[in-house]
Each structure stands twice: as structure tokens, then as C-alpha cells.
């Protein structure tokens, strides 16, 4: 390589590495702002500001959903299988809302530590499967997502690749056993 | 076939609007992406052909009429090099 | 190492002749594969156990998102070649690819929004994945605008190449945003190291669509590069020959 090209190449590399480092550090410093939501453990630890609008993300705790018979009011608890945050919401829930489902609720924490949500978004995982497979899984004693999630929750925080441990390949071998 | 009837296929289990909106806009954007370069190519060919014609009739470089050609100055510079 | 191919690639005439021969094949293959994948994905693939039929948007969303990112990576490689080796064809590639990349990024964002409404309950949320993808769209726009802003070819090719190279830091941010931060967008279904979290009857049409869309991208790119070559090399004899032959048609 001739010296001029070599010089240009070093210059470009310096530019790239320098810029990359600046962006990397800035992203690292802003992690808290980039995170879309607080998980229940953070909220329980008081990391989330009270009175300000925040987002809380976690799983809807099994058996925690209570619906008001006259209004659209609904109450449930969010959990990351370490801490629990109670949530109250009035409005239409997304189709994917169900117990054991990951959701993100937007609202304010009141003084009792209850999140008064005005918006609830459903989160789904990266696993896709036909309904029949999900049904067969359930028959075989696997909750299509809850159990895998619970297993993963022990070590990982919500939002990381939490359900990755049980990939489809393993699941389908279970299906075969279940449907002889 | 995953659907029982054509109507079911159109309804997409209540999500028809979202699915067909996605694919409709997708088709539109891909069509534009495919057709606009062909039109642009024709336009450039026409312009270059006209330029050649002018140069044949009045063979001096950098005449003012040709400046309407996009990217004229850069090419002129190249030609001078 | 044999560099003949690399040097040939640097010759506009050689590239033009080759692309003129290959372009129709890429176009036909691309359109055919995309048509097959669309029918397969929309009508024959099973629905998802949670999302039902809205999941079918994946067959447009994922391939366009893959293309949007890999187009940028190709542009970054070209930008390096253009800056260091001053290869004209590398610069032409950037000019030709940027608008297609922008179109694919727009489609990925649009289909994502339309998919997000029924599944998440919102069209848009400012999480790391969606925001970094929007930044990618603006990077493409930036490259296109920078091209139009300069009159001097040397200056503009250098400026765009630097922008493209600097902007490449956004690509790992897009890819790892779902792992580094908590987002509404779910982590990757397809990774190189693990089995896909999806059965084959669902991912096969997706694979066909990805291959088809790469062919389509190549076909459109070749036409754009041909146009760029004709425009820049119009003072050469061989381009005049082509122009006169096509104009008299």
C-alpha cells in the first residue's frame, strides 16, 4: 500500500474509533434514560421518581387481575419474580394482555406505591409458534411462556433475552411425546 | 391453506386492516423503488443525447445551455483533468 | 492474492457491461421469489398462537429491516474504499444505494408501526430499537442531502464517505439495543448461534422473502449504478455509443 493511502486509512480508522468511543460512552452514561421502563425491583428500591410519569415493565402476576364489574377499571400486579408493583388502570387493554404476559404500563406512582396507569402496552417475546403447538405444549404441562420466563427471571432482568433457554427445537420434541 | 374461505383470508382474524395496509404500502414503495430508476435512466440518456447533438452543431466546451444537466460542473471538472 | 477482479470492478465500462447482462436475471428471480413468499406467508403459513394473523406482517418487516441494515454496511465498506483508494465505482455505489436503503428503512419502520398497533397497543414508542432505526433513516436522508448540497464531486464524495463511516456506529446499536437496554421490542428470533425460536413452516417463507428481496435490491441497484455511470462518463466514447443507440430507439 502506498504511503498516502496508508495515511488516509489510519486517519479514517482514528476518526471511526474516536467517534465510536464518544458515542459508546454517551450511550453508557445515558443508560437510565435509554431504558424504556423501570422493572419492579427498581421501583421497590425507590429508583423511580414518585409523582413523575414513569413506565413500569414486568410480567402480569398470575391470579392478580381483578376487574371492576361496572367500569373498565382493572387492577393487577407487575412482577419480575423478585418484587411486585401493584397497578391500577382504567381503559381498554391490548389484545395480548393476559396473566403471565409481559407488559409496560405508563403512569404515576402514588404515595402508597401503586402505579396509576393511563396506558398499558403489551410486550411479547421472540418465540413464535402455531396455536396447535402451543396447545400441545400446554397439555404436556408446559405453560407456553410463563414457565420459561420464570426460569429465566431468576438470573436475568426483564428485557434481556429472557425466554431464550427453551428454544423451539426442544419444545417440539416435547410435543411429539405429548401427541403419540 | 390456513384459511377456510376467501373472506376469512381478507379478514385475517380481525387484523385485516393492519396486514393489508402493510402489504399495500410495501407493494407501493417497492414499485416506486423499481420504476423511478428506470425513468431516471431514460431522462439521463435523453439529456446526454441532446448534449451530444449540441456539441456536434456548436463544438465548444462548457456552453451555458448544458448547465441544466444535473451535476454539470463536476463533470466539466473531470473532463478538464 | 489476485486483485484483477477488484481492478476490473473499478472500471465503469466493465461494470456497465456486466450489470446490463445480470440485471434482468436478478429482477426476475427477485420478483418471483417475493411473490412466492408473499402468497406463502399470507395464506399458507400458520398463524401465531398469541398474535394471530397480524404476525404475517413479519414477512415484510424482517426482510426490509435486514436489508436496511446490510445496505448500510455495504455503503460503509464502499465509503472506506472510496476514501482510501479513491475508487470512482465505490462512490457511485453509495450514491446509488442510499435511496434504496432509505426506502427499505422506511418500510421496516412503517410495517413495524402497523404491527405494533394490534400487538403492543401503540404505533410508536421511543425505545432504543425503534429510535435507532429512525436514526438510520435520517442517516440515509443525510447522505442523499449531502450529495445534493455539493457541486464539487471530489468534495461531496469525501463528505458523504465520512458521514457514512461515522454513522456505522448506529448499526451495532440497532442490533444490540434489545439486549443492552430494556425495550418494548422483543429480542432477536433469529441468531447465528441458536436454533430459530420459530418452526420451519413459519421461517421458510421468511427465508424465501429475504433471498428475493436481496435479488430485488441488486436489480434496482444495478439500474441506478448504470444511470450514475452514464451521467459521469458521458464524455467517453463508449457511453456515447450506448446513448446514441438507446436514444435512436
In order along chain C (249 residues), what is the average pLDDT of each group of 10 residues?
75 92 96 96 91 92 96 96 92 96 97 93 92 96 93 92 95 93 89 85 95 97 96 91 85
What Cα–Cα distance (Å) separates residue A92 from each residue in A88, A117, B20?
12, 12, 24
State whether residue A79 is helix, strand or coil. Answer: strand
pTM for this entry: 0.85
> Chain C within 8 Å of B13 (Cβ-Cβ)?
yes
DSSP state of B13: G
A156–C contact, CB cutoff 8 A: no
The pLDDT tens digits of the residues spanning B3-25 come to 888 888 988 888 999 999 999 99
Q: Which residues of C19-48 are buried (b: 16+ CB within 10 A; e: fewer)?
A: beeebeebbebbbebbeebbebbbeebbbb
Pairing of strands A115-123, A66-67: unpaired
> Which candidate, C143, C149, C136, C70, places its Cα nearest to that of C105?
C136
**To the nearest whole angstrom, how far is the Cα of C206 from the nearest Cα of chain A?**
13
Phi, psi (degrees; rounded to nearest 5) at C177: -55, -40
List the one residue out of B45, B43, B41 whose CA is nearest residue C242.
B45
CA distance A10 to A47: 44
Per-window interface: C 73-132 vs A, CB < 8 A: 80, 83-85, 118-122, 125-128
On the question of pLDDT at B72 being above 50, the answer is no
Handedness of CA C144, C33, C42, A143 (dihedral sign): negative
pLDDT in tens, A88-143: 998 888 888 888 888 999 999 888 889 999 999 998 888 898 888 888 888 877 65
For residue B62, give how far its alpha carbon lies from the nearest alpha carbon of chain C (Å).
12
- Tell whether A127 lies on the interface with C, counting CB pairs under 8 A: yes
Per-residue model confidence as pLDDT tens digits over B21-65: 999 999 999 999 999 999 999 999 999 999 888 888 876 555 444
* Cell of residue B60, nine digits: 465548444
CA-to-CA dists, residue A43 to A57, C182, C187, angstroms = 10, 15, 23
pLDDT class for A158, splitting at 50, 70, 90? very low
- For C117, residues 6+ apart whose C-beta sits below 8 A from its C-beta are B18, C123
Read off the C-alpha cell for A26.
454517551
Contact C188 A126 (CB under 8 A): yes
Asked if A17 reaches chain C (Cβ–Cβ under 8 Å), the answer is no
Return the higher-pLDDT residue of C136 and A32.
C136
Best of C112, C182, C198 to mutate (most A CBs within 10 Å, chain A) = C182
Contacts of C198 in chain A (CB under 8 A): 127-129, 168
Contact between chains at C54 and B19 (C-beta distance less than 8 A):
yes
Question: Distance, in angstroms, between B31 CA and closest chain C CA?
Answer: 10
The residue in chain B having the minimum alpha-carbon distance to the alpha carbon of residue C53 is B12
**Cβ pair C99, C224 in contact under 8 A:** yes
Within an 8 Å CB–CB cutoff, is residue C183 touching chain A?
A: yes
Please answer whether residues A130 and C156 qualify as being in contact, where contact means their C-beta atoms are separated by less than 8 angstroms.
Answer: no
Spell out the residues 6+ positions from residue C222 whose beta carbon is closer than 8 angstroms to its own: C19, C22, C23, C26
- DSSP three-state, residue A55: strand
What pLDDT, on the 0 to 100 scale, is given for residue A39?
87
- Say whether the ipTM exceeds 0.85: yes
Amino acid at each position: 500500500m502506498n504511503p498516502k493511502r496508508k495515511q488516509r486509512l489510519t486517519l479514517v480508522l482514528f476518526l471511526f474509533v474516536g467517534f465510536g468511543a464518544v458515542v459508546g460512552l454517551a450511550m453508557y452514561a445515558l443508560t437510565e434514560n435509554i431504558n424504556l421502563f423501570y422493572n419492579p425491583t427498581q421501583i421497590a428500591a425507590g429508583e423511580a421518581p414518585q409523582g413523575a410519569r414513569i413506565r413500569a415493565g414486568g410480567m402480569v402476576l398470575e391470579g392478580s387481575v381483578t376487574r371492576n364489574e361496572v367500569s373498565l377499571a382493572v387492577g393487577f400486579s407487575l412482577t419480575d419474580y423478585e418484587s411486585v408493583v401493584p397497578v391500577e388502570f382504567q381503559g381498554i387493554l391490548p389484545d395480548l394482555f393476559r396473566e403471565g404476559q409481559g407488559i409496560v404500563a405508563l403512569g404515576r406512582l402514588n404515595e402508597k406505591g401503586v402505579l396509576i396507569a393511563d396506558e398499558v402496552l403489551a410486550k411479547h417475546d421472540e418465540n413464535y409458534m402455531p396455536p396447535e403447538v402451543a396447545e400441545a405444549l400446554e397439555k404436556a404441562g408446559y405453560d407456553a411462556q410463563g414457565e420459561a420466563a420464570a426460569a429465566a427471571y431468576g438470573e436475568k432482568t426483564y428485557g434481556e433475552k429472557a425466554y431464550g433457554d427453551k428454544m423451539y427445537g426442544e419444545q417440539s420434541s416435547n410435543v411429539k411425546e405429548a401427541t403419540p | 391453506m390456513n384459511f377456510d374461505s376467501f373472506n376469512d383470508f381478507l379478514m385475517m382474524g380481525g387484523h385485516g386492516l393492519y396486514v393489508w395496509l402493510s402489504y399495500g404500502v410495501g407493494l407501493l414503495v417497492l414499485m416506486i423503488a423499481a420504476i423511478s430508476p428506470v425513468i431516471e435512466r431514460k431522462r439521463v440518456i435523453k439529456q446526454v443525447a441532446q448534449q451530444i447533438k449540441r456539441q456536434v452543431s456548436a463544438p465548444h466546451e462548457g456552453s451555458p445551455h448544458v448547465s441544466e444537466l444535473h451535476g454539470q460542473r463536476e463533470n466539466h471538472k473531470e473532463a478538464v483533468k | 492474492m489476485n486483485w484483477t477482479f477488484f481492478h476490473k470492478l473499478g472500471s465503469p465500462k466493465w461494470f456497465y457491461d456486466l450489470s446490463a447482462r445480470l440485471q434482468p436475471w436478478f429482477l426476475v428471480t427477485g420478483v418471483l421469489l417475493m411473490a412466492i413468499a408473499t402468497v406463502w406467508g399470507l395464506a399458507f403459513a400458520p398463524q401465531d398462537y398469541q398474535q394471530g394473523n397480524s404476525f404475517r406482517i413479519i414477512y415484510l418487516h424482517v426482510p426490509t429491516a435486514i436489508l436496511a441494515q446490510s445496505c448500510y454496511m455495504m455503503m460503509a465498506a464502499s465509503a472506506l474504499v472510496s476514501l482510501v483508494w479513491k475508487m470512482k465505482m465505490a462512490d457511485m455505489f453509495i450514491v446509488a444505494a442510499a435511496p434504496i436503503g432509505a426506502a427499505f428503512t422506511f418500510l421496516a419502520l412503517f410495517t413495524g408501526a402497523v404491527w405494533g398497533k394490534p400487538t403492543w397497543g401503540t404505533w410508536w414508542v421511543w425505545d432504543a430499537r425503534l429510535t435507532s432505526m429512525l436514526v438510520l433513516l435520517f442517516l440515509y436522508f443525510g447522505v442523499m442531502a449531502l450529495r445534493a448540497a455539493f457541486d464539487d464531486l471530489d468534495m461531496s464524495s469525501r463528505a458523504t464517505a465520512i458521514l457514512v463511516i461515522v454513522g456505522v456506529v448506529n448499526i451495532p446499536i440497532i442490533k444490540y439495543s434489545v439486549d443492552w437496554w430494556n425495550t418494548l421490542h422483543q429480542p432477536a428470533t433469529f441468531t447465528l448461534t441458536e436454533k430459530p425460536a420459530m418452526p420451519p413452516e413459519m421461517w421458510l417463507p421468511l427465508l424465501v422473502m429475504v433471498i428475493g428481496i436481496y435479488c430485488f435490491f441488486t436489480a434496482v441497484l444495478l439500474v441506478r449504478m448504470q444511470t450514475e455511470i452514464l451521467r459521469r462518463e458521458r464524455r467517453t466514447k463508449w457511453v456515447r455509443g450506448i446513448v446514441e443507440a438507446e436514444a435512436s430507439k
